[in-house]
Structure 1
Amino acid sequence: MIDRIVTSGTFSLDGGTWDVDNNVWVVGSDSEVVVIDAAHDAEAIARGIGDRAVRAIVCTHGHNDHINAAADLAARVDAPILLHPADQVLWEMVYGDTPYTPLEDGQVLSVGGADLTVLHTPGHAPGAVCLHVPGLGAVFTGDTLFKGGPGATGRSFSSFETIIDSIRGRLLTLPEDTVVHTGHGDSTTIGAEAPHLQEWLARGH
């Protein structure tokens, strides 16, 4: 079971602020779920979860628009917040020294009969991760891969070369029919995006 909740707010970094709509993904069964990227509105996310148990709140990376409702939601549903520790500096911009549970590359999160495998995919942020769920034919990519290309790398703590390496080595190797559920905008598939790698390289940043 995959549910999408769209929330709206702002993303701030390097002195700029932008209005954004975020995809919050709820994955699991009718009894238990994980939440991927608790963005902007904990109340709206909690409504979407309903009475299902939340096993974890997983952050695909530490940008404020992907984590700014995590602490509020965690308190509401009594669930741990999981983040890759390479995004510590981004986490601290929002939460200071508030603790979280570290994510590791290759870690498997099991919920509602689904296994979510953590893929460390740095580039958009140092601790960016994707979550591959073979049983659902899906991968949740945060801001690493979108419909139409890689996530932005023009701001602090990002790298175009690194995100391309992550996409080429960790995502484009997945089955072509894998559905890519992104952090913003529409979903796509690995097969739809893979042929455009050379275009992205030519386009650069």
Structure 2
Amino acid sequence: MDVLLAFFYLQLTIGFVSGTYCTDGFEVHRGSCYFFSHGKEAWEDAHQSCKLFGAMLVEVDSWDEQNYISEKARILGDYFWIGLTDKLIEGEYMWTTSQQLVTFSNWGPGEPNGHDHENCVLIDSPNDYRWADVRCDRPEHYICEKRLFLDRTNSQTNRRRIYVDDKQAISYLSQTGDQENLMDMITKTVFLLTVRMTTGGQMP
């Protein structure tokens, strides 16, 4: 009965979701929401600003994502921080939120060069919007990212994802026809709802 109630509640909540999957200021692209900042901040401040939005400095893991953000940066015409750094170990680049070592990359010629304590990475507008390592204290624009759902392929590598509202994710997946991820999200949401109802709202 609890599971049936959970499904009923889930259907009701999905019905209230609008066609907009990203919060104000963010725009959707293939399962993520992106925010391209208007102001400039040092890398660490940009990282903290994204966290305040419930997001992360963008983690680029495919050519599709790279092409999307580079084209947006080209339109806006400036440098943009991404969430990559080698602050912990020189020359070992890691995504700051997921703590995963970089696998996909789009470095510009001669990059990364590590000159003059250059430990943070940005989209380099003079270099065809490829990546470059620069000093982290430079004030630059930045890109925040929210993941709409847990991607099955990346979950096998234990990559952390940042969630937007589950109801938004379910609505998005149902309309895009992504049945595999849709069932994953519904199963996860029903489980959490069932736990809340059987424990009086307390999570394990």
Q: Give the TM-score normalised by the residue count of structure 1.
A: 0.31
User: Would you tell me which structure has more strand in proportion to its own residues?
Assistant: 1
Rg larger for = 2
User: Would you tell me which structure has more helix in proportion to its own residues?
Assistant: 2
